[in-house]
Amino acid sequence: MTLQTQRLAQAALASSALLLAPSAAGAQTTPACPAVHEFLGQGTTGSAGMPRLSSSGAPLIGQPIAFRVSQGPAGALGALVIGLDAVPLPLPAFGATAYPTPFVAVLPVTLDGAGSSAPLAPIAAIPASFCGQQVVGQSVLLDPAATGGFAFTRAVRLVFGEGDLPLFPGRQAGEGSRAAVGDLNADGIDDLVVIDDFARVVPLLGVGDGRFVAQAAIDAPDVSSIEVGELTGDAIPDLILTFFFTDHAWILPGTGGGGFAAQQVVSGLGTVYDSAVADFSGDGITDLVLASGQGLTIHIGLGGGQLLAPSSPAVPGLIGSMQVGDLNGDGLPDLVTGGSAEITSIVNQGGGAFTVAETFNLPTGYEAWAAVALSDVDQDGVLDLAVTGSVYIQVRRGNGDGTFSAPVDVYGGPFLRDIVAVDLGGDGIDDLVVASASDFVGVNYLTGLGGGSFAAPVAVGTGNTSSVSIGDFNEDGVPDVAASIDAALATSLYLGDGSGGLEPTINVAVGYDPGAVVPADLDGDGDIDLAAVNLLSGTLTVVLRQSDGSFGPPSQYFAGGRGDDLVAGDLDGDGDLDLIVASSNTSQASVFLGLGDGTFQSPVAYAAGLAPCSLALADFDQDGALDVVASSCALGTFAYLRGVGDGTLQSPAYKQGGGNSSKIAAGDYDGDGKPDALVCVPSGAGVALVRGLGNGNFAPAVWLDPGSAARSAQVADLDLDGVGDLAVSTAGGVAVMLGTGGGAFSAPVAFDMPGGLEHLTPALDIDGDGLPDLAACSYAEDAAFVFLGSGDGALFDAPMRFALGELPRDLALADVDGDGRPDLVSADFGADSISVLTNQR
């Protein structure tokens, strides 16, 4: 690149900040601008596949960044267009989507012999003046093999800002379930209140980017519902809690800032299941309604948190849920209750008096704990009713007097548990969002079409969801959904996309009971594909990533036995990845040689010792060919299978490595340049470090004690001293043992986690701060935990928790979406799928 071109490139990015600064300066808030990095549109395939435009580095203030074009034809010429903003422009003649911009710069691009460019528009340190500014870049290359003779990259959109982005939006909103939404600290950002693992109520203050900061927990066991409302007349939101096994509720007055004063106790009729607040008496003071096993109680507010003695409208049966709305247009809030397979509408007569307008039974197939939502679904100015059933939503149009017309059934998905009505698309027509207790659905949304009809449900997540709540958690003016996942005791966010949908989580079906997953480029196109082995069925499933970013249909192979573990490596030296599956029930390792296009030859099985349950690859004899080690779940040995280099393996040699091992890893752990083996023994013996001698032989095992039963281990330089450190996932959490050199390690420093952690990923910089981080999955909690490194090795920030599918058995890190940031990939045994959590930091 000439000096003149390089200066032009740097000016391109700087100009975007200067041109946009006047309009953005007045919009700055605290925390300041969050950074964004995302791909846009559709690229095209040329002679070397689809070329890729990426940024080396994240768009974070103070960090370096540059554009780079790769995966193009060797020596190709082209251009990079950088602009301030862009709108999509389909180009069917080229099979691409272009993003024309108000041009800032058009830069020449020349690819080297490997099909990559030099850094384009480099900036050594992004200045603070860029905060909140946006640029969009896209490259096009001359390529006769591409449609129309031009190969387009996907566009890249960068918003410069600070590194406080949520790591994995849609998966984490704090550690808890049963979420309620409200602005607890009057900062204009929606907050959450959830129940955590220890049956405590935890306020989570929203940061405004989809993340939350936990406040002091409130001890409150067996909470059945949480309501945020203002009962004390001080304009500060209060908290109302009801309980499964008591006849009372708590009112906790808000103190501002997200804190709450000591509770006031209010009695109901039997076990209280739900609450609602509104000015039912019309005197300008908020009142309280409690729903219980024996009916309703109305508590008229006197101000200052004081309530009159309750009155009890005659409502039949157990009441599990209720909604507030003006059913008859008189300006007074009325009630609709659900439960015991009955729905009752209750009309407010004013002054705290109520009458039952209508009660109707739900048909067979509707749950006894039916949830209700009120919305004007037919746009006639009268509130209508939607009620959840097992798979159907019963929609009844309001008559304007508190009664409803005959029902129309709308399919909503399996095992429906909750429902809310909200205008996701901003078109003035409410849509429906439902929670599903199915392991395969979680959350569905149904787009309102007007006139009371709805589109078919669209699933956006998995995970046995019990309730859904609405808020704007990333301050974009678009409704988002907080979904409470019972099994994981977690609340996941599904952010509104602004066009009527919710940003989905990525869940890839791979057949029954996946036990291990490998994200890797299996077809040589530069994109990360997925391979998973199913534990009980022994099926190997391969799913290739498509040019539009989606995953294609699965291809399946049979391993000949159980699928206990899966690794990928080039065993035959042809440049294509091969797959190896461990089968404990057949005592074999099956090799699937890759053909380079994402397909594989039929497996060849090799003896791998008794009950092999974990695999690792390394060149232990340093002959240039990968070898295989397989740990035994039954014996105190591991099998060493020497690779010949043509894809075949020699008969195993058995090495001492502990008893009943769970995971084996390979790497140079003592710094002598020769691969070693690291074997975890969960029976209590600890971790066996077995030094490789460089000729296929191994020294006797050295035992390391992490302080709790070891499940998996990784070595990385966590304290940045140039020496590898040991991190171990254990039955008690995570233990870190700092390396002192030569394969020796210090005493463990433990981070305790209830239920322990399973598979630990290799250390990578997950949050973009330049420090190594760790991630591990929890089989017991259906979640991944990310430990952000502090640079001293032993101390991590409190782990961040992200919901996975049911019963995750394996976890990996890979840049699945090609944005330069490691994403989380988990094998969810109970959900029969792979979860992909894309990193947005």
Q: Among 48-62, 606-620, 631-645, which is the least confidently predicted range?
A: 48-62
Rank 142-156, 345-359, 516-530, 745-759 by mean pLDDT and report only the highest.
Answer: 516-530
Beta strand 191-195 with 177-182 is antiparallel
pLDDT score at 170 = 55
The alpha carbon torsion through 193, 196, 201, 204 (nearest 10 deg) reads -30
pLDDT score at 268 = 72
pLDDT score at 33 = 59
pLDDT score at 429 = 95
Q: Among 207-211, 371-375, 600-604, which is the least confidently predicted range?
A: 207-211
End-to-end CA, the chain: 31
More confident residue, 317 or 270: 270
- Check whether 162 has a pLDDT greater than 50: yes
The alpha carbon torsion through 50, 56, 57, 61 (nearest 10 deg) reads -100
Residue 285 forms beta bridges with which residues? Answer: none
What percent of the chain lies above the pLDDT cut of 90? Answer: 37
Residue 713 tokens read as 């281990």
DSSP state of 656: E
Domain map (residue ranges) of the chain: 65-88+95-160, 172-312, 318-411, 420-504
Q: How buried is 304 (Cβ within 10 angstroms: 0-12 exposed, 13-18 middle, 19+ buried)? A: exposed
Q: Report the amino acid identity of residue 381.
A: G
DSSP state of 447: -
E strands present in 425-479: 431-436, 443-446, 448-450, 453-454, 458-461, 465-471
More confident residue, 100 or 585: 585
DSSP letter string over 348-377?
A: EEETTEEEEEEEEEPPTTS-TT--EEEE-T
Cα→Cα distances 281→113, 302, 783, 831, Å: 78, 10, 45, 48
pLDDT band (50, 70, 90) for residue 103: low
Residue 392 forms beta bridges with which residues? Answer: 411
Contacts of 340 (CB under 8 A, 6+ apart): 316, 317, 318, 319, 320, 368
Q: What does the pLDDT look like over 563-612, one tens digit per residue?
A: 999 999 999 999 999 999 999 999 999 999 999 999 999 999 999 999 99
The mean per-residue pLDDT over the stretch 506-512 comes to 74
pLDDT band (50, 70, 90) for residue 56: low
What distance in Å separates the CA atoms of residue 83 and residue 158, rounded to the nearest whole number?
A: 11
pLDDT band (50, 70, 90) for residue 88: confident
Average pLDDT, the chain: 83
pLDDT band (50, 70, 90) for residue 12: very low
pLDDT band (50, 70, 90) for residue 697: very high
pLDDT band (50, 70, 90) for residue 8: very low
pLDDT score at 31 = 37
CB 424 within 8 Å of CB 445: yes
The mean per-residue pLDDT over the stretch 665-690 comes to 89
pLDDT score at 189 = 85
The mean per-residue pLDDT over the stretch 542-550 comes to 87
The mean per-residue pLDDT over the stretch 542-568 comes to 90
pLDDT score at 2 = 37
CATH of 65-88+95-160, one of 3.30.1490, 1.10.3470, 2.60.40, 3.30.1380: 2.60.40
Q: What does the pLDDT look like over 322-334, one tens digit per residue?
A: 899 999 999 999 9
Among candidate residues 555, 559, 573, 575, the one with its CA nearest the CA of residue 615: 559
DSSP state of 130: G
- Check whether 17 has a pLDDT greater than 50: no
Q: What does the pLDDT look like over 400-435, one tens digit per residue?
A: 999 999 999 998 888 888 999 999 999 999 999 998
pLDDT score at 463 = 65
What percent of the chain lies above the pLDDT cut of 70? Answer: 86
The mean per-residue pLDDT over the stretch 435-440 comes to 75
Q: How buried is 36 (Cβ within 10 angstroms: 0-12 exposed, 13-18 middle, 19+ buried)? A: middle
DSSP letter string over 217-263?
A: -EE-TTEEEEEEE--SSSSS-EEEEEETTSSEEEEE-EEETTEE---
The mean per-residue pLDDT over the stretch 258-272 comes to 83
What distance in Å separates the CA atoms of residue 250 and residue 267, rounded to the nearest whole number?
A: 9
pLDDT score at 177 = 54
pLDDT score at 813 = 94
Residue 764 tokens read as 């990578």
Q: Among 431-445, 579-593, 705-719, which is the least confidently predicted range?
A: 431-445
- Check whether 633 has a pLDDT greater than 70: yes
CB 581 within 8 Å of CB 540: yes
- Check whether 24 has a pLDDT greater than 50: no
pLDDT score at 490 = 67
Residue 134 CA to its chain's centroid (Å)? 25
pLDDT score at 658 = 62
Cα→Cα distances 810→144, 184, 828, Å: 43, 38, 8
pLDDT score at 11 = 38
More confident residue, 111 or 185: 111
More confident residue, 262 or 244: 262
Q: Among 312-316, 485-489, 776-780, which is the least confidently predicted range?
A: 485-489
E strands present in 268-376: 272-278, 287-292, 295-299, 301-303, 306-307, 321-325, 334-339, 342-350, 353-361, 372-375
DSSP state of 315: -
More confident residue, 13 or 783: 783
pLDDT score at 575 = 95
Q: Among 177-191, 208-222, 725-739, which is the least confidently predicted range?
A: 208-222
The mean per-residue pLDDT over the stretch 639-651 comes to 96
What distance in Å separates the CA atoms of residue 137 and residue 86, rounded to the nearest whole number?
A: 9
Q: What does the pLDDT look like over 283-304, one tens digit per residue?
A: 899 999 988 777 788 888 888 8
SS3 402: coil
pLDDT band (50, 70, 90) for residue 14: very low
- Check whether 26 has a pLDDT greater than 60: no
pLDDT band (50, 70, 90) for residue 25: very low
Q: How many residues does the chain have?
A: 841
pLDDT band (50, 70, 90) for residue 30: very low
What distance in Å separates the CA atoms of residue 824 and residue 411, rounded to the nearest whole number?
A: 33
pLDDT score at 175 = 45
What distance in Å separates the CA atoms of residue 735 and residue 776, rounded to the nearest whole number?
A: 12
501-518: string of b/e by CB count within 10 Å (b at 16+)? Answer: bbbebbbbbbbebbbbbb
Q: How buried is 656 (Cβ within 10 angstroms: 0-12 exposed, 13-18 middle, 19+ buried)? A: middle
